[in-house]
Structure 1
């Protein structure tokens, strides 16, 4: 079992700050690294895996630095987001090449064992450029695991993978976490993280927005003010009634014919709205969130973090 620790890590490229003063501890089990595209997740992964030095701060495994310590690579398996550039190789050749790079004494046996673990024994005789997206992900995982690392880092492993392959990959990562490995995967999809990891780290715009149990952080996300757009048979009448509700923070009438409602208690609002409309004789045509993007959720978490300081 190994623990990966980032201590006040920053990384900048010229005048661009990609990661800003991030500290986190990743221990055994499955951890989700959640953040919108461009949040700095790939840069963090590159520093954790020893392929990129921090501009300041440190990245360590069990107290030892990762950067410029070649024996650290024996403890790390990296599954990058980018597509494989070795399509001319068979899956078996690709995994075996990684086994040879690690100078495994039983490279052939290790290759066959890990191909079995990821369920790629049969397809391994085919060229990688004939694989589906899910198969390419699994062969990358096999190559990352062939030397039996204690830490597995996966950058957006579910991108473009069909639902069946996604379930297979999730089952595999759960199993690896249950074995005591430290598994960290990044994603910008909230539901992917929820289904796989209880502990999450949230980053946005290169900053650390939240850390801890998924349920607690999800409640923070749910409790934030939420904006809705409502269309009905009588927007003015419905708006006047909603203004009196404790769960409603503000109501505005859109000139194009809809209500813009900001809600502070989503549960109370959802349970009372149908009854209010029925009592007032108003027919609801459409209710839709207007700011439910992950970017808005993360921005809210960052604002809360800043206000708490």
Structure 2
């Protein structure tokens, strides 16, 4: 298993602190790196990829320091967000050059396989300068995959891709995660992260805000109101019994859903109260569903913290 360890790592540029004492572990599978613009995501990825030195702390790959260690590039593939590329080369020449830099035994075969993986064979003989943004993203992906890395780092990889290209890339990353590779990607498109990442790391203002499955993160946020959709055999009686308790801050009847929307401010007490009130009043509970456990809700809570 290939694992990246970030240990009490900070990075500053002059008086600007981009990453502030972050510790996290990125292991096999697909991890989503989330945060608003300017949160420090690109700085973290550049340190993981060995292109930027930590100001303090360490970034290691299976215990080996990444910075100024050219051997780790045998294991890491990086897809940067920046568009800087050798526009005078064709797609084929660009990917083949990276295969040669890695001193692969058959660079031509490796380049062909990588370009086929990202479905760029038909455009491989065109100059990079003629590519759309989505095509540039795919040829950067091919270049990062040419040496079959065990770690893949992607900074906003879905930018500029059309829906079909996005689905193809999502399937590819999912397969790589299932194969046991370590895949980390940053994104601001929460719906795609929700579909793809089995694990998320959230960075806000340079600090590590949360780690884990986003639903578990939401359940740990006991200081935030929790919202539930509840259907029962007697919504009015249930609402009147619950509203008198201090664990709820608001209850409304949703006529379209034929259900109650409940805001619980004391999560632990509410989870004990609801079944007890239903039992005491002979009310049957048909649905008790959290309505704020989407990634968008969790992210909004964390960013507003």
TM normalised by structure 2 equals 0.75
Q: Which runs of 5+ in 2 are unaligned?
A: 228-242, 251-261, 271-295
Q: Does 1:14 align with 2:18?
A: no
Q: Which residue number corresponds to residue 160 of structure 1?
A: 160
Q: Which residue number corresponds to residue 198 of structure 2?
A: 198
**SS of match in other structure, 2:208:** strand
Q: Does 1:298 align with 2:302?
A: yes
Q: Cα offset for 1:226?
A: 8.8
Deviations 1:63-89 (A, max 9, x none): 110011110111110000011432221
Q: Which residue number corresponds to residue 51 of structure 1?
A: 51
Between the aligned partners of 1:221 and 1:101, the Cα distance in structure 2 is 47
**SS of match in other structure, 2:89:** coil
Between the aligned partners of 1:111 and 1:31, the Cα distance in structure 2 is 26
Evaluate the alpha carbon distance shift between residue 68 and residue 121 of structure 1 in structure 2; reply closer, same or farther with a 3 A threshold: same
Evaluate the alpha carbon distance shift between residue 172 and residue 223 of structure 1 in structure 2; reply closer, same or farther with a 3 A threshold: farther
Deviations 1:234-275 (A, max 9, x none): xxxxxxxxx98978748xxxxxxxxxxx9557xx9xxxxxxx
Q: Which residue number corresponds to residue 106 of structure 1?
A: 106
Contact 2:214/2:298 (<8 A) preserved:
no
Q: Does 1:180 align with 2:180?
A: yes
Between the aligned partners of 2:162 and 2:264, the Cα distance in structure 1 is 36
Deviates more, 1:218-227 or 1:9-18: 218-227
- Corresponding residue pairs, total: 253
Q: Which residue number corresponds to residue 140 of structure 2?
A: 140
**SS of match in other structure, 1:217:** helix
Q: Which residue number corresponds to residue 276 of structure 1?
A: none
Evaluate the alpha carbon distance shift between residue 223 and residue 165 of structure 1 in structure 2; reply closer, same or farther with a 3 A threshold: farther
Evaluate the alpha carbon distance shift between residue 195 and residue 17 of structure 1 in structure 2; reply closer, same or farther with a 3 A threshold: same
Q: What RMSD in Å do the two structures reach over aligned CA positions?
A: 2.8
Q: Which runs of 5+ in 1 are unaligned?
A: 228-242, 251-261, 269-291, 304-309
Contact 1:99/1:107 (<8 A) preserved:
yes
Between the aligned partners of 1:72 and 1:101, the Cα distance in structure 2 is 14
Q: Cα offset for 1:21?
A: 0.7
Q: Which residue number corresponds to residue 73 of structure 1?
A: 73
User: For residues 1-309 of structure 1, what are the structure 2 equivalents within 5 Å?
Assistant: 1-219=1-219, 224-225=224-225, 249=249, 264=264, 296-300=300-304, 303=305
Between the aligned partners of 1:62 and 1:198, the Cα distance in structure 2 is 21
Contact 1:36/1:295 (<8 A) preserved:
no
Q: Runs ≥4 in structure 1, deviation > 3 angstroms? A: 218-227, 243-250, 262-265, 292-296
**SS of match in other structure, 1:122:** helix
Contact 2:202/2:210 (<8 A) preserved:
yes
Deviations 1:119-146 (A, max 9, x none): 1111111122222322211111110010
Evaluate the alpha carbon distance shift between residue 214 and residue 299 of structure 1 in structure 2; reply closer, same or farther with a 3 A threshold: closer
**SS of match in other structure, 1:43:** helix
